[in-house]
Structure 1
Amino acid sequence: MIPYAEVIGDPIVQSKSPVMHGHWLERAGIAGEYRRCLVTAEGLGDYLAERRADAAWRGCNVTMPHKLAVRPLLDRVTPLAEQIGAVNTILRAEDGTLTGDNTDAPGFMEPLRPLLAEPHLFRMARVLGTGGAARAVVTGLAAEGFTIVLAGRDPAKARALLDELVPDGEHHAVDLAHFADPTDFEFDDRQGLLDLVVNASPLGMAGQPPLQLDISHVPPASVVYDVITSPVHTPLLVEAEAAGLRTVDGLAMLIGQGAVAFRLFFGVQPVRDDNDAELRRLLTA
């Protein structure tokens, strides 16, 4: 019996997860498989019922449009997935019970861990977007003491999301259009501060409208993080690098969340002794 996991969604052909997990299985010398499986909304219940009875199935990653729909079909949901309000990973126990988890928040936070190990007087994050990715981003950052400015095309939706996810913090909701035009605002002394700008929206992705963010809104010495993976080098990251700012690309989050899921599925940490250089080459080939 060869253990396997998979990624489900509709569509699913675009998923990079089989390449990533296949690479780690090979490097770890594990006799296992990671597959992709097209699952429609109508077939989701039958799919999970079949997998419950399959002792070789370790679980699956969940992509659109099932991250919300799977929740009532599971036996339990972890506190983190409950807080974020979405499931992106399902795990099967030996008795066939299914647990929903979310690896997006820890995956997003992984490349920021070296920075977060340093002390700061204040941490502020400007997060652009109010969709599923933004929910994980806001949850992860709030847990690390960030004050969040959440920008959306509908500021009321941004406010509601903050009130739901982080009701006890002094966070702010603004109109995304606020960042479109240049500003002559003079930022104060940022010594001892950690500023983060995150594009958690699909704006700037291939086939999507561009992200309207003028670089003048980005504080000096900020870290600019774009969760988009297609393209990897988004216009936002190119402009930030040209301005001398530190950047983090979407592959970092993809690999980070995948590493968490791999450990959950196969019981070992993936081998990453080359700083993911070979994996990045495979994912962008």
Structure 2
Amino acid sequence: MNSVAATEARRAAVLGSPIAHSLSPVLHRAAYAALGLSDWSYDRFEVTEADLAAFMERLDPSWAGLSLTMPLKRAVIPLLDGISDTAASVEAVNTVVLTDDGRRVGDNTDIPGMIAALRERGVEKVEYAAVLGAGATASSALAALSRICTGPVTAYVRTHTRAEEMRGWGERLGVEVHTADWAEAGHAFDAPLVIATTPAGATDPLVPYVPERPGTLFDVLYDPWPTPLAAAWAEQGGAVVGGLDLLVHQAVLQVEQMTGRSPAPLAAMRAAGEAALAAR
């Protein structure tokens, strides 16, 4: 963790490809303003896997940290001096802290960010859950569920290969994972917690299956928002956690790690994110 004076100029940025859509600069800059870190800057850089090593080599001591999005979360691991147990559990790093002694340490704030976003909506424990999708975010969802779900998780996937991958992640993370074909995804909504990790539009055909008394939906998308599924869920009185909630909570943890200041200004960061989305 870094511990710096408010007047010491430091740099941070989010890397990925594509990156132009990222809200991370809005959130981190709002945090710096609220914390009085007037000489801190946070930018975005289009960086591919092939470019990553060269970018990391160019970092000088003014750099405090990096946020990483796809496709860099796994590619960065060999370039680091160490990673946290949380990051190792899903083989994905979304946060790099550049320490005062020159080390580059990776972490994953998506997983605790998911847990914090759910806790904010009153979800502390569930008896069972459902996950829609089987990509990188789905593995993070399983890691979060390993801490809050006391029973099985059913993953709804499109292919046999994805089903095997999700069961493998379950074994690794200590979660009892059952898999079902995507055609049966309407049954997911019987669970007290449903985490949708699919791309925009994928869950739109599932709207008619939203029950009269739904539980909690965590839809990781944030633009456009609300998704048709999230809107239908809310209309039926179900609790909805959105992608902006996840983005803000994982960014709060990143700011705390990179700046050494805690707590990070959650309300200011969320307000900045909401304003930026409304302006799009």
Q: TM-score range with shorter-chain normalisation?
A: 0.7 to 0.9
Give the equivalent residue in structure 2 for 1:133.
137
1:95 aligns with 2:101: yes
C-alpha distance in structure 2 between counterparts of 1:28 and 1:178, whole Å: 48
Bigger shift: 157-166 or 211-220? 211-220
Taking a change above 3 Å as real, the CA distance of residues 215 and 154 of structure 1, as seen in their structure-2 partners, is same
Shift in Å, 1:156: 4.0
Give the equivalent residue in structure 1 for 2:228.
235
**Which residue among 146, 166, 178 is the counterpart of 1:172?**
178
Shift in Å, 1:234: 0.3
Count of residue pairs the alignment pairs up? 267
Taking a change above 3 Å as real, the CA distance of residues 172 and 217 of structure 1, as seen in their structure-2 partners, is farther
2:142–2:169: 8 Å Cα contact kept in structure 1?
no
**Which residue among 218, 242, 263 is the counterpart of 2:256?**
263
C-alpha distance in structure 2 between counterparts of 1:163 and 1:40, whole Å: 28
1:155–1:174: 8 Å Cα contact kept in structure 2?
no
1:109 aligns with 2:103: no
How does the TM-score come out when normalised to structure 1? 0.85
Give the equivalent residue in structure 2 for 1:198.
195
- Specify which structure has the higher proportion of helix: 2
Give the equivalent residue in structure 2 for 1:79.
85
- Secondary structure (helix, strand or coil) at the match of 2:250 reads helix
- Secondary structure (helix, strand or coil) at the match of 1:43 reads helix
1:5 aligns with 2:12: yes
Where does the alignment leave 5 or more consecutive residues of structure 2 unmatched? 1-7
1:59 aligns with 2:53: no
- Aligned-pair RMSD on alpha carbons? 2.4
Taking a change above 3 Å as real, the CA distance of residues 12 and 156 of structure 1, as seen in their structure-2 partners, is closer
1:42 aligns with 2:39: no
Give the equivalent residue in structure 2 for 1:161.
166
- Secondary structure (helix, strand or coil) at the match of 2:141 reads helix
Where does the alignment leave 5 or more consecutive residues of structure 1 unmatched? 188-193
Taking a change above 3 Å as real, the CA distance of residues 218 and 150 of structure 1, as seen in their structure-2 partners, is farther
Give the equivalent residue in structure 2 for 1:223.
216
Taking a change above 3 Å as real, the CA distance of residues 152 and 26 of structure 1, as seen in their structure-2 partners, is same
- Secondary structure (helix, strand or coil) at the match of 2:194 reads strand
Matches within 5 A, 1:244-263: 244-263=237-256
C-alpha distance in structure 2 between counterparts of 1:173 and 1:43, whole Å: 36
1:150 aligns with 2:150: no
Bigger shift: 269-278 or 66-75? 269-278
C-alpha distance in structure 2 between counterparts of 1:165 and 1:92, whole Å: 32
Which amino acid in 2 is paired with 1:223?
A: T
Shift in Å, 1:282: 3.0
